[in-house]
Amino acid sequence: MPFVHVHMWEGRTVEQKRALTKAITDAMVEHAGANPDALHVAISEYPRENWARAGVLGIDRKDV
């Protein structure tokens, strides 16, 4: 541990995921005193039809 689970839209590039997981790991080490060797970051990606805000699916919104 710790385990950080990112839930977001699908579509980020590998390079974005590489930078993102590195930055989250750095934040966990700096601010939460995490041991990097035991720190895992996982990303779950969702199609826009599988996420709603205010009861409206992503495919039906303009702003998310």
Residues at the contact surface with its own copies, assessed by CB under 8 A = 1-9, 12, 14, 16-28, 30-46, 49-60, 63-64
The CB-of-52 to its own copies minimum distance in angstroms stands at 4
Q: What is the largest CA-CA distance in the chain?
A: 41
Contact between residue 43 and residue 4 where contact means Cβ atoms under 8 Å apart: no
Active-site annotation, residues: 2
The CB-of-11 to its own copies minimum distance in angstroms stands at 10
Give the separation between CA 60 and CA 64, rounded to whole angstroms: 10
